[in-house]
Structure 1
């Protein structure tokens, strides 16, 4: 199928759908200026002190680090928290909201991103599944209980030259122990998944109502294929937008070789041409 035919088919699915399922990986945030940590080189470019310490993304994004050196772990996650709080979602989010507004059942989001950008862009928080958790929530490091809480009151003060937290470590309000982000990390047996389980239940209920869903997959990679595999379980009308890993069997959907924002802009322009 040539490029023109792929776009035409994708637009026809969007126009016919009664529900928009958005599935998004780290590549979706790149157009907002967020790093995706693709490989050690990209990660170390974003965090030179961790390069100097010889720490990989897998080593710092690991609960063991909080027990070993919590100030360093919170330096990394505190910097990310501040970054995500200060980031403006790219224009593609607004276009997705416009598409969903014309559909009977609106939109639902399934994302491996922990940045909270969909909620910040105006998506209903009750219609977002964060399958790896959220940096905007915390839990006990132990954990002492199966609870999480909002990180709103925590304002990290990070020494970026050392990637270390300078202010007091956040604490668990239930036991007083060290708190950590409510994120599924590498080698993580203590992630508190209650919030994500509640989100998943809401998505299941929504899917039961939608008769003609269209899936728009944005920036989902193959290294951690959670989002891609989820998309492929959702039916045969998947629009996979990715600058590199865009291939998909024609029996499942269409692939568009673009960044998340670029693909959404092109689809939106095509959609408006035939209105």
Structure 2
């Protein structure tokens, strides 16, 4: 199938759908200027101070970091929190909102991203599953209770040259020990998943109502295939958008080689021919 044919097929599925499942990985944020940490070099370009320490993304995205070097761990996550708060969601979010607003059952989002960009773009928090948690919420580093709380009161100040938090570290309101983001990390046994479980229940209640589902997958790579596998389970009308890893079985969907904004814009133009 040619590229033009894939765009046309995607537009036809979207035009006929009565509900849209939007699935998104780290590549979704690239057009907004967010790093996707693709490989160690990409990670170190975003955080050059961590190259000096020799820390990889896997080493930083690890609960052990909050025990061994908490100011460095909060420097990394504090910088990300400030970056996500300051980032304007790209135009692709608007197009997805516009398409889904015309569908009987609207849209539901399933994302491995922790950046809160879908909420900032105007999607209802009641229609989003954050399968790896969210940086906008905190929990106790020891999970002393199952509570999580908004990070809105925490304004991180980070020394970029050292990637270390300068101001006071956030603490658990229950036990007074260190708090951490409510994000699923590598080797993480203390992540509190109650909010994600509630989100997944809402999605499970929504899906059976949709008769003509279209799945639009954006920026989900093979390295952590959670989102790709989730999309494929909900075929056969999956639109996979990815600059490098757009391959998909023909009986599951179509693949479009490109970034989020460019590809969604091409589909939008086809919808309005």
Q: TM-score range by the shorter chain?
A: over 0.9
Aligned equivalent of 2:98? 98
Residue 107 of structure 2 corresponds to 107
- Partners of 1:96 and 1:48 lie apart in 2 by 34
Supply the distance in 2 between the matched residues of 1:148 and 1:205 (Cα, whole angstroms): 24
2:244 is the alignment partner of 1:255? no
SS at match of 2:186: coil
- 2:232 aligns with 232
Match of 1:267 in 2: 267
SS at structure 1 position matched to 2:229? helix
The Cα shift of 1:146 comes to: 1.1
Question: Could you give the per-residue CA deviations for residues 144-192 of structure 1, whole angstroms, max 9, x where no partner exists?
Answer: 0111110000000111110000111100111111000000001111100
Distance 1:20 1:180 in 2: 33
CA distance in 2 between counterparts of 1:76 and 1:83 reads 11
Work out the CA distance in 1 between the residues paired with 2:106 and 2:42.
36
- 1:1-275 paired onto structure 2 within 5 Å: 1-273=1-273
Distance 1:139 1:228 in 2: 28
- Matches of 1:88 and 1:21, distance apart in 2: 22
Q: Distance in 2 between matches of 1:78 and 1:194?
A: 23
SS of the aligned residue for 2:272 comes to helix
Query: Structure 1: how far apart are the matches of 2:60 and 2:40?
Result: 12
C-alpha separation between the residues in 1 aligned to 2:137 and 2:84? 13
TM-score, structure 1 as length reference:
0.98
1:202-248 deviation per Cα after TM superposition (whole angstroms, max 9, x unaligned)? 00001021111100000000000000000001120000000000010
Q: Residue deviations 1:8-53, cap 9 Å, x none?
A: 1111100110001000000000000000000000000111110000
Q: Which runs of 4+ in 1 moved over 2 A?
A: none
Separation (CA, whole Å) in 2 of partners of 1:228 and 1:126:
22
- TM-score w.r.t. structure 2 length? 0.99
Q: Gaps (5+ residues) in structure 1?
A: none
TM-fit CA distance, 1:4: 2.0
Whole-Å Cα distance in 2 between the matches of residues 49 and 2 of structure 1? 44
**Matched residue of 1:250: which SS?**
coil
Residues of 1 paired with 2:150 and 2:113: CA distance?
17
Separation (CA, whole Å) in 1 of partners of 2:194 and 2:59: 25
The residue matched to 1:108 in structure 2 has which SS?
strand
Query: What is the CA–CA distance in structure 1 between the aligned matches of 2:10 and 2:165, rounded to whole Å?
Result: 46
